[in-house]
Amino acid sequence: MKLILRIYDYLLTHRALLWALFTVMLALFVLAASRLRYKEDIADFLPVDDEYRESMALYEQMNDAARIVIIFEGNNPDSLCHAVDRFELTALDMGLAQDRLMTDVDINAFVKRLSYIHSHAPYFLTDSDYLRMDTLFTPSGFRSALARDKQLLSMPGSGLLMQVIAGDPLQIFPLSAGASGQYAAASAAFTSHDGYMMSADETQAYAFYDSPYGSTESGRNAGLVDSLQSVANQVHAEYPEIDVRLLGAPVIAVGNARRIKSDSMLAIGLSIVLISLLLLYYFPRKRDIFLIALSVGFGWLCGMAMLWLCVGKVSVIVLGIGSVIIGLAVNYPLHLLVHQRYTVSVRQTLQEVLSPLIIGNITTVGAFLALLPIHATALRDLGIFASSMLLGTVLFCILFLPQWMSAEKTPLREIRFRWFANMSSGNDSRVLSALIVAVTLCLAGSLIIHRDAEHFDSDLSHINYMTPQQRADFAHFEQLALQSANPGHVAYYLASTAKEELLRRETLWNNWWADKNREQIVSDFREAAAQYGFRADAFTPFEKDFLLATDIQMDNLAACFPGRIDTSALNTRITQSLSDNFDYLGWVCAGIVFLFLLFSFRSLKHACIAFAPMLLAWIWILGIMQLTGIQFNIVNIILATFLFGQGDDYTIFVLEGALYERSTGKKMLPQYGQSILLSALIMLVSIGVLLFAKHPAMHSLGIVTLIGMSCVVIMAWMVPPMLLKWTASKK
């Protein structure tokens, strides 16, 4: 602390050095921040490791995640076909790639991928399939299946069916097992009308466009989506009775990106306006408001510069959360400017506020640095940005702000809340203590009773922005796809256990054949086929892939079969990772804050008193969220950093003020109270603006953080003076 005061004294007499230092630092920050690039992928908040990324990459590749679905909805199937044709012609006129647009059922691709399933049968068979095969691979089973095949092949238009039956005459894999997405026209959920893929009731037709940019590259996909939407609008203008809509991961990613951008601009802009109005009311001198803005702006540029230095590219939603970080950073200049009204000089102000200012900053920065080890890109970026912004702000408040503060004692317009002041002074402490204890016990009891309840929402669709129409289309199309696919056959890839599962299925296949007489089975099948008049070579693919297969390699699966992966394993991993990250954040942030409190106060009793409000606030937050049904998700779990990062600032100032009053008899809490109350109002404003966001992730962050910080402010203001008074009376 003495070193900082010496720096203050030195810069006070060397103004040229002061301005040179400020100009150089500001120029470097601006230069670095201007080179920062932006992205808008909500998946950056997913806590994933390298293995999980590989699973997700394969999942996207196998499920054609980069495919845009064009939905044509109307009552006349022929008109739907004409609309699809017009869409194709208009798209080609606009220069869209013809090889990426598919407007009819690709039978060859369907047969190719179904053939791949047959040739790699062991890896697609489930435990229940082997129970069916025990009945199928018998003389009676062969005869029953081949009789059905002969009847099917006698029907007109059985060309595709002939190829399918040649590879699987026993229908070990039902036709729908090979169908997914646009290849599902052979299943009951979809139908084909003049070669065009339609829903079973023929009220919707489908076309597809494969994005060359992947499913999450919203920046490059934006132009493609706009072009396709323009084509859709032209088709609708020509066929007013037909509604043409776009669906798919690239479309949703673009919508998310644009919603995040607009919500971020709204949150930051509205936050700045409301905070400015509050400061204009409180500070009659405009110079003070300018210094506060300069302090926070300096810190913001510092955070942006560090992001460029460390990562180079950042999610826009991280900067959207910056509206909340503003509420944290504004604390530092506020404490100095408000406290200056109660001291005889700027140096005395710096001397008295320096200790809680630095301690609070260290603990807050430490809480945000706890985000760095998490396997989520956006959360790590937020940790870098928030900690750097707060460090930059406090650095400005130490080096530059005192040099430019005026010693003139301009009166402030005090914000008066009588009941708030009474709580800090310990008035009616028995009633308040009883109320806090009662509510805390009730909420804690509720948490214990419902300890097995699910607190995390791992469904990404809940934090992705979609219009009501998109949600309806998404749910409808997913249901059709589920009806058209047999998850048991194609859901072989189970994320982290993929290799183990494939090896298990190999063993299952080998063990099943080890108990069978292969030669007898082949003989029985050929005899049954001849009995029903099939040629000797009619089922060569089946014999090769099933009856005579001995050495099957799992090669290039993702490129050959875009099947449906069972996402439950992936969601389970997300949920478990969320839970682990949340527990980690809670414990690490709490540990960092408590250790610094213990180091700063050098008293276990005072450290516990300062930490108690955050512990009680955490119980209240969890209890209120459980009672209201609000869940944590991959975005709002960062509440833990806000809770411990901001809560310790308030408790440190309140406890420092209370201890100062006890030791000197001089009133300190009222002046601390004014800066804390103003800071709390600014914090609640900066959080409250997120409630206006339409993006679910940002809106949920606003709700959860508003609940959390309200509890923190109340506890920080009420609890330390009461505990201090109680421990003093007991002593």
pLDDT tens, position by position, 125-155: 878 888 888 888 899 989 998 988 888 777 6
CA pair distance 695, 45, nearest whole angstrom: 14
Question: Is the alpha carbon torsion for 356, 358, 360, 363 positive or negative?
Answer: negative
Instruction: Report the 10 Å Cβ neighbour count for 163.
Output: 16
- Written as six digits, the tokens of 596 are 């610094």
pLDDT above 90 covers what percent of the chain? 15
Q: How far apart are CA 542 and CA 172, in angstroms?
A: 11
Q: Is the pLDDT of residue 6 over 70?
A: yes
What's the rounded mean pLDDT across residues 716-724? 82
The structural domains of the chain, ordered by start, are: 2-43+254-454+568-730 (no CATH), 66-104+195-247 (3.30.70.600), 107-189+499-560 (no CATH)
Closest CA to 710 of 655, 639, 656, 657: 639
In whole angstroms, give the CA distance from residue 147 to residue 169.
10
Contact 234, 90 (CB under 8 A): yes
pTM, rounded to two decimals: 0.69
Distance CA 380, CA 372 (A): 5
H helical segments located in 602-630: 604-628
CA distance 435 to 110: 68
- Residue pair 405/336 in contact (Cβ under 8 Å)? The answer is yes
CA distance 697 to 315: 13
Q: In the prediction, which pLDDT does 188 show?
A: 45
Over residues 49-65, the mean pLDDT reads 56
Average per-residue pLDDT for the chain: 77
Rounded CA-CA distance 228/209 in Å is 9
Distances (CA, A) of 449 to 95, 286, 455, 582, 618: 62, 54, 14, 20, 17
Strands 313-315 and 37-39: parallel
- Give the pLDDT confidence score for residue 497 in this predicted structure: 39
Q: Is 321 helix (H, G, I), strand (E, B) or coil?
A: coil
Cβ 341 vs Cβ 411: under 8 Å? yes
Q: Is 371 helix (H, G, I), strand (E, B) or coil?
A: coil
Q: Looking at the predicted structure, is the pLDDT value of residue 275 above 90? A: no
Instruction: pLDDT band for 459, please (50, 70, 90 cuts).
Output: low
Q: In the numeric block, which tokens belong to residue 473? A: 């289309």
Q: What phi and psi values does residue 313 have, to the nearest 5 degrees?
A: -145, 135
For residue range 639-669, what is the model confidence (pLDDT) as tens digits? Answer: 667 777 677 777 877 887 778 777 776 776 7
Q: Which of 39, 127, 210 lies closest to 488, judged by CA? A: 127
Distances in whole angstroms, Cα of residue 575 to Cα of each of 47, 353, 388, 459, 569 = 9, 43, 30, 9, 10
Please give the structure tokens belonging to residue 707.
């609940």
Read off the pLDDT of residues 200-223 as tens digits, 9 standing for 90 and up: 788 889 888 988 887 767 777 888
Q: Which residues pair with 520 in a beta bridge?
A: none
Q: What is the mean pLDDT of residues 584-600?
A: 79
Residue 234: predicted pLDDT: 94
With tokens 């008049």, the residue in question is 533
Q: Closest Cα partner for 721 from 658, 674, 651?
A: 658
For the CA atoms of 486, 488, 490, 495, the dihedral, rounded to the nearest 10 degrees, stands at 140
Query: By three-state DSSP, how is residue 701 classified?
Result: helix
d(CA 550, CA 99): 38
